[in-house]
Structure 1
Amino acid sequence: MTMKLHVVLRVAAAFLLTLPLSNAYAPLAGITARSVKTLEDVDLSRFVSTPAAKGEKCMLVLGTYAADFNAIEYAQRLRYYLPDLQQRGITKIGLVLNCETDAAKRLVDLVDLPCDASDGKEVTLMVDPMGNAGRAFGVGTGWRPDDSEMSPYVKLFGMLFGLGAWATLPAVIGGYIGNPFKPQPWIEDAMAVGQRKGRWPDMALILDDNSDKVVTNKFTELPVVGSWPRRPLELATLRLQNMLDISIKNWKELAPNDEALNAGVLTQLGGCVVCDENGEALFEWKDAGICAVANFEDILEKIPVTE
């Protein structure tokens, strides 16, 4: 009798898990990604709608393939902004990458992002090799996504000039000209990580020999524009680091496989969402181009610090 009751309870529990939650984030209903730590499927709608504690919030970043500029920058921004996000009650954070588990582990190691799959607990690292979650969320799929005859690399080349990704050129050019209004302090942090790991260019920052902390940012010494919140060439220098010593140098480990290429992962963009405990979106973003990822300063402005 006890055994029969146990079986009935397990079946009932499994059935309840298939039912939609009233407070689940609807765009990702029924969509899963695989946890890098446990190798188990995670229901993303439930993940982003069930905070760690009452009154807190969840954040889900739907990244791109591991060698992509957007995925790299999302990971770098997460690393820097984790304390600020936590101050706003965003205590449950997930990062989904369109790659296999080894590639995801490699990327977070390259950018020193603490996650549950390594020695940190701040970020839940997940993979979705075919990019299903991003498409369900509504991210951009790039140039000519339905053209199965054209090489995905040709499509990607077209996107560099704005085809199917209108914000690419403004985002890239912005890395060169800077911004006198809105700061991007994560850039210096990411460059410092790169210099500590021996990446080139390695002359932008002077690091303390003992603590490895930034002593001088040479971009602040530029005449006139050195006082800007985001100095000219600063972000472009970081992106050069990322391209040479993360993306190209580790291409074999980070690149999508043939099946993922056929699924359109190479040209798929990313996005992110922050939800409250009722599954209501407080902030949503869908990348409009290569390098045109969410500005985390906008998230900080929109979501106040919790008391």
Structure 2
Amino acid sequence: MAIVTNALITALRPGFSAAFERGKTRAPSQWKLIASEMSSSNKSTTYGWLGQFPKLAEWVGQRSVKSMAEHGYSITNKLYEGTVGVARTDIEDDNLGIYTPLFEEMGYATATHPDELVFGLLGKGISTLCYDGQNFFDTDHPVYPNVDGTGTAVTVGNLVDAATKLEEQTPWYLLDVSRPLKPLIFQERTKPEMTAQTDARTDNVFMSDQYRYGVRYRCNTGFGFWQQAVCVRDALNQTNFLKARTLLQSFTADGGRPLGLGRGGKAGTLLVVPASLEADAIKLVDLQLINGGESNPCYNMATIVNCAWL
């Protein structure tokens, strides 16, 4: 039986930390495929430049400076935690091996936390506002005739719904990730850190007879440009895929300039699906031959992302 001393408790931390880090490396993180990572230095960060797609014009005379319409889209950081209690009796009885998988699982959960936030928000895009005051996936996003966001807007949609039985349709998504800014934003205020409460004089040791180890993380996620994403609540088939791709390619910035989206091929276009649609997605874009030997017109048009968090 081990004698529980401060030196022993201190010696346990490197092992628990190593297990935590191993768990982080084993996580199949996907969020960076669809979200740009942004650092934050305050409680919240405002992205006033959203809605502005920069362009060049011929330089004749002095520079032409336009005051762009500013959008007050803010992402407020949230505080997240995860805590593991280690019983003092397990330390006394040299029974610490049972905690190694638990700390690895904590590391895994920490590494996949951005995935849960980012893809969870994508799945809520039909009912969550973005920078222009509309839901990220909507039928009436305003697009203005002038590059500075003035004039009478026309409305454009990036949501394709089935004609009937909408409640039975599983949403899937076509995203353009070829530009420097991706369709979603993952904002990080602090890096995740594991801390320990191991002083035997603290209340948790006295009252609960356990030492505590916890992760602290400040971050949040939000939407970037809606023009880089299409949501389809209809069957995942060739007709609807090509319809979504054509819609993605048709989007323009304010002023009518084509954005050139959806033309990046497999590397620049993602087909994001839940597990229930993966087989349909594979048939659609990963098989070169279909129907007993016919060429597949959608072959290699997108990379499939099968996400557990949708």
TM-score range, shorter chain: under 0.3
The TM-score, its normalising length taken from structure 2, stands at 0.22
The TM-score, its normalising length taken from structure 1, stands at 0.23
Is the strand fraction higher in 1 or 2? 2
Q: Which has the larger radius of gyration?
A: 2
